[in-house]
Chains A and B, each alone.
Chain A
């Protein structure tokens, strides 16, 4: 395909990029702060919408390469749409929050769009250099957005921790990738895989012991673990979650995870397939280890949290642990279940953060004690929060249940039963802290507190996420089929 034709497939990320620059430009032109706020918000929404529309125009079933470094296929389409849907809902959540808490709204919304842009590229990368660029792009925008509350020490602290941690891990990841590049002479995933299999690009064919490359893939995995927020590379995450403006916390909880998982899946399936010894080690013990660590650390440390954003951070670490089971298993069924898992996760987190965002803007605090009696102060907001928590936990009737059952079945079929035993133990542990959210919001009946005002944009988000969580739990068939179609490409030979 000619470069000019493949640009068409790049339209969704380009829309986000253009939208971001337009907002920055508008900030220069528009003078009144009130109008900047509105213009920036509308431009952001329009850009995301345009991006979403173009992602449908280019067609779901096409399989193509964009400039030889990005892949457009059903998998990309699925992740892009998920990221864009999440981004649109985050923009909606942001409206009321930004109005009260943020001083320079234009760059905030521009940053959000750039964040999405980087995530789209990350999830489509088929080239190690592109991968490291996209990882860094998403991270750098992430640092800026995390530290966006200039007057809040915790925001700055979170951003700096994120920055230092992120830079170090990116460097480690780049080092690992350069090692692979040096050995195989290729940056493209497929060529790297060929090189690792002994079909060299530069050198005459000779074998190399895979053991030599174990440090390299470990470094690469560290980068992914940082990006998706998996233990043991999670230490930055609770601080960044706590300090960041709440809608940014929502973005951090969803966008790097979804795009990071997409990149991880593609790299796993294309560059380190199961046919390679290295690919086997990559799945087991490396990813399986991360999964187990994530589940246990996230859930156990989560037990001690009293700040709801930190609690959600640890819950997220555990959720990543569950989801990593799917990658460690690596069958068609497990990866399809991963796509559903990420979708449900994104919707549940958005429902929760819609509520948390309103609460942070209203009370200025994220302590769980602020949520006492929330059910009486804002019944629907509290219901959305509770439903999200139930879905994260996997109660039947919510999407969380269907995705977990699917994931468990897939793992069992691949004889990875012990991983789901670990997951089951962790589900039980996690009740103890998910319960605390329900306890504070629903069980406590503190009367007499002022009603919480819920902005109209938040209503929209709540309606969408509640509907999504319930529909995915009761009638998930359509999305199930999309998820299967998305990953099918990895299992078609040739």
Chain B
């Protein structure tokens, strides 16, 4: 018998949330165990799904479930995974599990609501990666939005309420118009199914409408990514969110935007994407601005968490740049070199999503760990920590190098693939983008490595700091190992992405 594996994966966290609801709020230990257990369970399921997808055929949708949900409105409950989405499930499951594990030792207030919202958030995130129906996609998109909003608002830093409402209004403003875009696509094609709608080429003969609907969808995703100039919610939200919240916000929620671009905006409107990436290169400029400007702003930050937040803007810019490169291949024939460059762009974007997820997730964990010890994140007050926090130093160093794209670590491959595609298809953008990489190296080495770890140690102030304890190591080590493993053997992931990216290009973009 065929089990609905995807539904089980999707609703495992929700089931956990319902169980948490039944436990009295005084039983904190039980709640924590349930939370981690169910997150772990969904991680294992996601791993199983990924393995099966890779073994069967990562280029096509697997485990497809298709049931009518609200037939009168043509809404379907359609789930499916391919090589693009399966690794993202793995990422969501991994980061949620680690975030909940870490929270078990650091969060003391309102445990029950915290775990409940976290598990709900996971269902929302998994749902976005699994949905093949546009409205279902939107439903899970919003389902993830509300818990994150409350996580920032309740468990965040001093300016949490401002940050929470800013995050909510920004994302919502985008997604409401995204919903209008979805409805317009339905009105045109008669289906909410992502693949069928993409195949139908909505508004192919009507550039005005195509432009409007494309931007409605694109801006929804661009705010989530976030691309310059829609990024201003991000520093506040990341800085104020609790550590585990920042991890998931940066690690997974931003990826929803990038995923939406590659799964919906690009295949539905390849021609418009091409037009705004090449002829009127707004998207390319936005991506390049994110990369260069984001990195420059990082240089000016003294708050470590804010710095990491801005580095997300810069790094997510590569995702958009990679997709712009893939779109640039539209209408340039089926020449193998162009096709490969475009595939490389998508692979790079997808790889960057995964890489940035684990790198920045780790970075936020590490920031949380130092903040918990020192109660400050001001880089000017630190220095010389390498001598007393050797494990912390080592782990941070690996993460920082992965972030700046050192060969041998995961960040290198994603940037390589992106630039391979961009260089072939829009070389000028590649030259500008590389500047950003230089700045990235600059702020990583100068701000993070030098100001935190090198120089002389203020013994009176920091002499009492202790190195990482066992549960902190358990949180960070898996991620760091993953960075190295994927850095040495990226094929593990790239094969999966590549198979799906080829299908995407062949079916929708270049055909």
Q: Which 7 residue pairs are nearest across A and B when measured between Cβ atoms?
A: A396-B139, A424-B176, A443-B153, A428-B173, A396-B142, A480-B72, A412-B187
B177 cross-chain contacts in A, Cβ below 8 A: 424
Minimum C-beta distance from A383 to chain B (A):
10
Asked if A476 and B183 make an inter-chain contact with CB atoms under 8 angstroms apart, the answer reads no
Minimum C-beta distance from A345 to chain B (A):
18
Point out residues on A near B: beta carbons under 8 Å. 390, 395-397, 401-402, 405-406, 408-409, 412-413, 417, 420-421, 424, 427-428, 431-432, 435, 438-439, 442-443, 445, 476-477, 480-481, 484
Asked if B138 and A431 make an inter-chain contact with CB atoms under 8 angstroms apart, the answer reads no
The closest CB in chain B to the CB of A421 belongs to B180
B72 cross-chain contacts in A, Cβ below 8 A: 477, 480-481, 484
Asked if A390 and B146 make an inter-chain contact with CB atoms under 8 angstroms apart, the answer reads yes
B179 cross-chain contacts in A, Cβ below 8 A: 405, 408, 424
Asked if B139 and A477 make an inter-chain contact with CB atoms under 8 angstroms apart, the answer reads no
Q: Main SS of chain B's interface residues? A: helix
Asked whether any CB of chain A lies closer than 8 Å to the CB of B186, the reply is yes
Give me 17 other A-B pairs in contact (C-beta within 8 A), A397-B139, A442-B153, A481-B72 excluded: A396-B139, A401-B139, A402-B73, A405-B75, A409-B73, A420-B180, A421-B180, A424-B180, A428-B169, A435-B165, A442-B154, A443-B153, A443-B154, A445-B110, A476-B70, A477-B70, A480-B73
B138 cross-chain contacts in A, Cβ below 8 A: 396
Asked if B154 and A445 make an inter-chain contact with CB atoms under 8 angstroms apart, the answer reads yes
B169 cross-chain contacts in A, Cβ below 8 A: 428, 431-432
Q: Bound state CA distance, A18 and B172, in angstroms?
A: 50
Minimum C-beta distance from A136 to chain B (A):
38
Asked if B161 and A443 make an inter-chain contact with CB atoms under 8 angstroms apart, the answer reads yes
Minimum C-beta distance from A439 to chain B (A):
6
B161 cross-chain contacts in A, Cβ below 8 A: 439, 443
Asked if B154 and A402 make an inter-chain contact with CB atoms under 8 angstroms apart, the answer reads no
Asked if B110 and A417 make an inter-chain contact with CB atoms under 8 angstroms apart, the answer reads no
Q: Bound state CA distance, A441 and B150, in angstroms?
A: 12
Interface centre among B75, B150, B179, by most chain A C-beta atoms within 10 angstroms, is: B179
Q: Give residues of chain B (157-191) contacting chain A, Cβ–Cβ below 8 Å.
A: 161, 164-165, 168-169, 172-173, 176-177, 179-180, 183-184, 186-187
Given contacts A395-B142, A401-B139, are A409 and B187 in contact (CB under 8 A)? yes
Point out residues on B near A: beta carbons under 8 Å. 70-73, 75, 109-110, 135, 138-140, 142-143, 146, 150, 153-154, 161, 164-165, 168-169, 172-173, 176-177, 179-180, 183-184, 186-187
A438 cross-chain contacts in B, Cβ below 8 A: 150
B139 cross-chain contacts in A, Cβ below 8 A: 396-397, 401
B75 cross-chain contacts in A, Cβ below 8 A: 405
Asked if B73 and A406 make an inter-chain contact with CB atoms under 8 angstroms apart, the answer reads yes
Asked if B168 and A443 make an inter-chain contact with CB atoms under 8 angstroms apart, the answer reads no
Interface centre among A405, A435, A481, by most chain B C-beta atoms within 10 angstroms, is: A405
Asked if B173 and A405 make an inter-chain contact with CB atoms under 8 angstroms apart, the answer reads no
Asked if B176 and A480 make an inter-chain contact with CB atoms under 8 angstroms apart, the answer reads no
Q: Bound state CA distance, A139 and B165, in angstroms?
A: 39
Asked if B183 and A405 make an inter-chain contact with CB atoms under 8 angstroms apart, the answer reads yes
Q: Bound state CA distance, A428 and B179, in angstroms?
A: 12
Q: Bound state CA distance, A480 and B70, in angstroms?
A: 9
A413 cross-chain contacts in B, Cβ below 8 A: 187
Asked if B180 and A408 make an inter-chain contact with CB atoms under 8 angstroms apart, the answer reads yes
B71 cross-chain contacts in A, Cβ below 8 A: 477
Asked if B168 and A408 make an inter-chain contact with CB atoms under 8 angstroms apart, the answer reads no
- Can you list 28 A-B contacts (CB < 8 A)? A390-B146, A395-B142, A396-B140, A397-B143, A402-B70, A409-B73, A409-B183, A409-B187, A412-B183, A417-B184, A420-B183, A424-B176, A424-B179, A424-B180, A427-B176, A428-B172, A432-B169, A438-B150, A439-B165, A442-B150, A442-B153, A442-B154, A443-B153, A443-B154, A445-B109, A445-B154, A480-B73, A481-B72
Minimum C-beta distance from B423 to chain A (A):
40
B153 cross-chain contacts in A, Cβ below 8 A: 439, 442-443
Q: Bound state CA distance, A445 and B25, in angstroms?
A: 15
A396 cross-chain contacts in B, Cβ below 8 A: 138-140, 142-143
A424 cross-chain contacts in B, Cβ below 8 A: 176-177, 179-180
Minimum C-beta distance from B17 to chain A (A):
13
A477 cross-chain contacts in B, Cβ below 8 A: 70-72
Interface centre among B70, B176, B180, B186, by most chain A C-beta atoms within 10 angstroms, is: B176
B146 cross-chain contacts in A, Cβ below 8 A: 390, 395
B70 cross-chain contacts in A, Cβ below 8 A: 402, 476-477, 480
Q: Bound state CA distance, A228 and B199, in angstroms?
A: 45
Q: Bound state CA distance, A409 and B138, in angstroms?
A: 15
Asked if B176 and A428 make an inter-chain contact with CB atoms under 8 angstroms apart, the answer reads yes
Q: Bound state CA distance, A431 and B180, in angstroms?
A: 18
Minimum C-beta distance from B296 to chain A (A):
31
The closest CB in chain B to the CB of A376 belongs to B110
Minimum C-beta distance from A87 to chain B (A):
28
Given contacts A409-B186, A424-B179, are A432 and B142 in contact (CB under 8 A)? no
B165 cross-chain contacts in A, Cβ below 8 A: 431-432, 435, 439
B186 cross-chain contacts in A, Cβ below 8 A: 409
A428 cross-chain contacts in B, Cβ below 8 A: 169, 172-173, 176
B172 cross-chain contacts in A, Cβ below 8 A: 427-428, 431
A421 cross-chain contacts in B, Cβ below 8 A: 180
Minimum C-beta distance from A169 to chain B (A):
34
The closest CB in chain A to the CB of B136 belongs to A396
The closest CB in chain B to the CB of A417 belongs to B184
The closest CB in chain B to the CB of A401 belongs to B139
The closest CB in chain A to the CB of B154 belongs to A443
Q: Bound state CA distance, A402 and B71, in angstroms?
A: 12
A405 cross-chain contacts in B, Cβ below 8 A: 73, 75, 135, 179, 183
Q: Bound state CA distance, A409 and B109, in angstroms?
A: 43
Q: Bound state CA distance, A401 and B75, in angstroms?
A: 13
Q: Bound state CA distance, A480 and B72, in angstroms?
A: 8
Q: Bound state CA distance, A395 and B175, in angstroms?
A: 11
Minimum C-beta distance from B388 to chain A (A):
36
Interface centre among A413, A442, A443, A484, by most chain B C-beta atoms within 10 angstroms, is: A443
Minimum C-beta distance from B363 to chain A (A):
27
Q: Bound state CA distance, A66 and B184, in angstroms?
A: 43
A435 cross-chain contacts in B, Cβ below 8 A: 165, 168
B140 cross-chain contacts in A, Cβ below 8 A: 396
The closest CB in chain B to the CB of A480 belongs to B72
Minimum C-beta distance from B118 to chain A (A):
15
A481 cross-chain contacts in B, Cβ below 8 A: 72
Q: Bound state CA distance, A397 and B183, in angstroms?
A: 18
Q: Bound state CA distance, A402 and B153, in angstroms?
A: 27
A484 cross-chain contacts in B, Cβ below 8 A: 72
Minimum C-beta distance from B133 to chain A (A):
12
Q: Bound state CA distance, A469 and B187, in angstroms?
A: 27
Q: Bound state CA distance, A484 and B71, in angstroms?
A: 13
A420 cross-chain contacts in B, Cβ below 8 A: 180, 183
Q: Bound state CA distance, A412 and B190, in angstroms?
A: 12
A427 cross-chain contacts in B, Cβ below 8 A: 172, 176
Identify B168's interface contact among A397, A412, A431, A480, CB under 8 A: A431
The closest CB in chain A to the CB of B112 belongs to A379
Q: Bound state CA distance, A401 and B177, in angstroms?
A: 14
Q: Bound state CA distance, A358 and B196, in angstroms?
A: 50
Minimum C-beta distance from B35 to chain A (A):
19
Q: Bound state CA distance, A443 and B153, in angstroms?
A: 6
The closest CB in chain A to the CB of B152 belongs to A443
A480 cross-chain contacts in B, Cβ below 8 A: 70, 72-73
Q: Bound state CA distance, A401 and B135, in angstroms?
A: 11
Q: Bound state CA distance, A412 and B70, in angstroms?
A: 18
Minimum C-beta distance from A447 to chain B (A):
10
Q: Bound state CA distance, A409 and B71, in angstroms?
A: 14
Minimum C-beta distance from B28 to chain A (A):
16
Q: Bound state CA distance, A413 and B188, in angstroms?
A: 10
Minimum C-beta distance from B72 to chain A (A):
5
The closest CB in chain A to the CB of B174 belongs to A428
Q: Bound state CA distance, A445 and B180, in angstroms?
A: 37
Minimum C-beta distance from A30 to chain B (A):
44
Minimum C-beta distance from B119 to chain A (A):
15
The closest CB in chain B to the CB of A397 belongs to B143
